[in-house]
Amino acid sequence: VFAPLNPTSFAGFAIPDMAASGNLWIRSPQIRAEWHKQKLLFQIAATDPNVGDYPSTFSTVRVAGIGERGRFPGFDSRLSYSSGALALGLSGHYSHGKNAGTIGTANFQTGVDSWGVAGDYIVPITSVFNLTGEAYQGRALGIFSSALGESVTAVRTAGQHGVESRGGWIQLQANWTKRWQNNVAYGIDAMNAHELPVGNRNKTQTYMGNLVYKWSPSVSLAWEWKRFLTNYRNQRAFDEKGDHVNMAVAFTF
């Protein structure tokens, strides 16, 4: 329901392309209701309140975290409009939890409001080209792969109530023929550096381009290149970049 689109990629299946780099996503249980009226669709869902604060050590059982301490589900909603190939959507997310920690011999708890607002669009430009993308802003969105692993910092630090982040992705698609397709995309996830400790990741970016060939109704081939850029707060010497080349074969049934 919240930020539902993904870039077109055969290199990302279990984890969608641009995850942690502008593409909000999560697969989790939800109870959802929908209302349709002509070209409008309204959706609302009760969801897992997890904010992405996973324990540092592996556990075979789920450990109660920030979201569970809030003792209430999260909520997602989305209003969308569609007309032919055009689709526009506005969605939101909210859940309340409690951050907990110990300093010395004292135990502390502080509230965490995980929230987000996202816009999504599919805009046909011509019979060949279309634009797709999402843009968002929010706080404590680690479960959606924004500020992943650092969306809530320790109690009595600047990000104890959740780290603010913003970003999104945009994709230009070209359908040259019924068999050949090109996609180029860019995504960014930028955190509020003032709410992060020095040395933490504060921006990730991804550039992507691919070529898809539909060999038959069931079989597609794809070649893809991605470049990753990662920046750290006040640690420019440790900024990283990397490239990834992939070829995939997909069978649809």
Number of helical (H) and strand (E) elements in the chain, helices listed first:
1, 11
Q: How confident is the model at residue 92 (pLDDT cuts 50, 70, 90)?
A: very high
Average pLDDT over residues 158-170: 96
Cβ atoms of residues 163 and 196 within 8 Å:
yes
Residue 228 has pLDDT above 80, yes or no: yes
Instruction: Write the pLDDT tens digit of every residue in 111-136.
Output: 999 999 999 999 999 999 999 999 99
Q: What's the start-to-end Cα distance of the chain, in Å? A: 25
- Residue-wise pLDDT for 169-226, tens only, equals 999 999 999 999 999 999 999 999 999 999 999 999 999 999 999 999 999 999 999 9
- Locate the domains of the chain by residue range: 30-251
pLDDT band at 60 (very low <50, low <70, confident <90, very high): confident
User: Phi, psi (5° rounding) for residue 142?
Assistant: -60, -35
Percentage of the chain exceeding pLDDT 90: 82
Query: What's the predicted TM-score (pTM) here?
Result: 0.92
Query: Which of 114, 231, 220, 228 lies closest to 161 in space, CA to CA?
Result: 114
- pLDDT score of 139: 97
Looking at per-residue pLDDT, the higher value among 13 and 71 belongs to 71
Q: What's the average model confidence in pLDDT over 92-113?
A: 92
Domain spanning 30-251: which CATH class is it, in words? mainly beta
Contact 213, 10 (CB under 8 A): no
Instruction: Please state, rounded to an integer, the average pLDDT across all residues of the chain.
Output: 94
Cα angle 112-116-121, degrees, rounded to a multiple of 5:
170
Confidence of residue 106 (pLDDT cuts 50, 70, 90): confident
